[in-house]
């Protein structure tokens, strides 16, 4: 899928989690619901860090472009070293390592550890990165073009600062779900994991499929492209994605948010 659909699906997924959490008796304070949805929307772009033409590759200028090249080479090296006889030869690392459940869990766990051990500045950094990605994904038409990059970064920095301040206030959710002393912001890794997995599921619906289950072997392949039957798949950016899936994501996100906030 394309960036906007990935971001919308990520936001909708977290709002759905908010509804499920409310039903389970662990209701999210509204700041957790909002911040988590934005983080998840941004994290839903992150697996494409292995693709130089993806939204995330230009989100932070030369820094993200250079990181994309490194991740692409790393992903390709992992693919070559772990492929089985049934896995095809390829020339790049796109839709390999960063499109697996292993990667999703690692970046989510890393985000939680960073938030808990790094203090306020680490939390601000996590929020800033994901706010930039969320803006790039959700407002992609307005955010396109190098002239808008600085404005996106300023908006993301201001948003991160305000959100961190709101979450820090008693009862606003810095300790949501994990309430023991020293576990503030441990939950920040959850929307990161969810966003990455939602991205992978979205890509699995497209023609190429997605090797979400790596390194679990399936037959003669370790990088088996999981997906529905061929007749149910679509091409990224097709009318199904734009005219059907994106409106569905918006509807589901709205319903999930309303349930999470006890409006319905």
DSSP-assigned letters across all residues of the chain:
--HHHHHHHHHHHHHHHHHHHHHTT-PPPHHHHHHHHHHHHHHTTGGGGG-TTSHHHHHTTHHHHHHHHHHHHHHHHHHHHH--TTSPP-SS-TTSGGGSHHHHHHHHHHHHHHHHHHHHHHHHHHHHHHHHHHHHHHTHHHH-SGGGHHHHHHHHHHHHHHHHHHHHSTTSSTTSS--STT-TTGGGHHHHHHHHHHHHHHHHTBTT-B-TTTTS-BTTBSS--B-S-GGG-B-TTSHIIIIIIHHHHHHHHHHHHHHHTT--
Q: How confident is the model at residue 8 (pLDDT cuts 50, 70, 90)?
A: very high
Share of the chain above pLDDT 90, in %: 67
pTM of the model: 0.92
Range of the domain at 65: 3-261
pLDDT digit string, tens, across residues 145-186: 555 778 889 999 999 999 999 999 988 889 998 888 889 999
The stretch 251-260 carries a mean pLDDT of 94
Domains in the chain, number:
1
């Amino acid at each position: 899928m394309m960036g906007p659909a990935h971001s919308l699906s990520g936001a909708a997924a977290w709002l759905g989690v908010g509804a499920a959490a409310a039903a389970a008796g662990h209701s999210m304070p509204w700041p957790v619901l909002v911040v988590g949805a934005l983080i998840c929307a941004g994290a839903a772009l992150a697996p494409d860090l292995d693709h130089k033409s993806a939204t995330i590759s230009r989100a932070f200028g030369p820094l993200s472009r250079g990181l994309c090249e490194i991740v692409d080479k790393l992903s390709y090296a992992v693919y070559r070293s772990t492929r089985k006889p049934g896995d095809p030869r390829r020339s790049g690392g796109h839709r390999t390592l960063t499109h697996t459940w292993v990667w999703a869990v690692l970046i989510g766990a890393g985000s939680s550890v960073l938030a808990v051990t790094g203090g306020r500045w680490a939390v601000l950094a996590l929020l800033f990165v994901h706010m930039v990605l969320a803006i790039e994904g959700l407002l992609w038409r307005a955010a396109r073009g190098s002239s808008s990059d600085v404005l996106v970064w300023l908006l993301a920095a201001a948003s991160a600062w305000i959100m961190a301040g709101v979450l820090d206030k008693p009862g606003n959710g810095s300790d949501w779900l994990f309430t023991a002393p020293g576990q503030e912001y441990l939950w920040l890794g959850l929307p990161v994991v969810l966003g990455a997995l939602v991205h992978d599921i979205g890509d699995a619906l497209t023609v190429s499929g997605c090797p979400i289950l790596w390194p679990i072997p399936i037959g003669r392949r370790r990088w088996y492209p999981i997906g529905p039957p061929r007749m149910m798949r679509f091409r990224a950016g097709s009318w199904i994605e734009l005219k059907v899936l994106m409106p569905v994501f918006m509807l589901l996100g709205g319903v999930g948010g309303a349930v999470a906030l006890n409006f319905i």
